[in-house]
Amino acid sequence: GQNIDQPTEMTATEGAIVQINCTYQTSGFNGLFWYQQHAGEAPTFLSYNVLDGLEEKGRFSSFLSRSKGYSYLLLKELQMKDSASYLCAVRDSNYQLIWGAGTKLIIKP
């Protein structure tokens, strides 16, 4: 079966750095996505990785290793508004998006 694993919840301090990991086992691979979802709102796109390596976009970076079935989302200079759930999703060989359950990130002052 297809599976995406990410931690259920993480806590970090304002101004610090946090890394949210995602491992996946899917039938084929056509890209990995990270989305941010604030409580009661729809997911919003953060990043897309299809090749190995690091993609940097401002305070957020995303890393992919296809051979390891592994990705992480790195958030720097954390702000209170970064408190949200972060969803990892993989597009499989049928181009269907397979979603992880999300990681709830709690930022403390």
Partner 1 sequence: SAVISQKPSRDICQRGTSLTIQCQVDSQVTMMFWYRQQPGQSLTLIATANQGSEATYESGFVIDKFPISRPNLTFSTLTVSNMSPEDSSIYLCSVEQGATEAFFGQGTRLTVV
Q: Interface residues with partner 1 (CB under 8 A)?
A: 4, 8, 30-31, 33, 40-45, 48, 50, 87, 89, 91, 95-97, 99-102
Instruction: Considering the complex, state which of residue 45 and residue 58 has its C-beta at the smaller distance from partner 1.
Output: 45
Cβ proximity to partner 1, 27 vs 44, nearer residue = 44
Distance CA 2, CA 94 (A): 12
The b/e string for 60-88 (b: 16+ C-beta within 10 A; e otherwise) is bbbbbeeeebebbbebeebeeebbbbbbb
In angstroms, what is the minimal distance from the CB of 49 to partner 1? 10
For the sheet with 53-57, list strands across it: 3-5, 18-25, 70-75, 60-65, 53-57
Report in angstroms how near the CB of residue 96 gets to partner 1 at its nearest. Answer: 7
Between CA 10 and CA 25 the distance in angstroms is 22
Min. distance of Cβ 68 from partner 1 in angstroms? 21
Closer CB to partner 1, 14 or 41, in the complex: 41
Least distance to partner 1, CB of residue 99, Å: 4
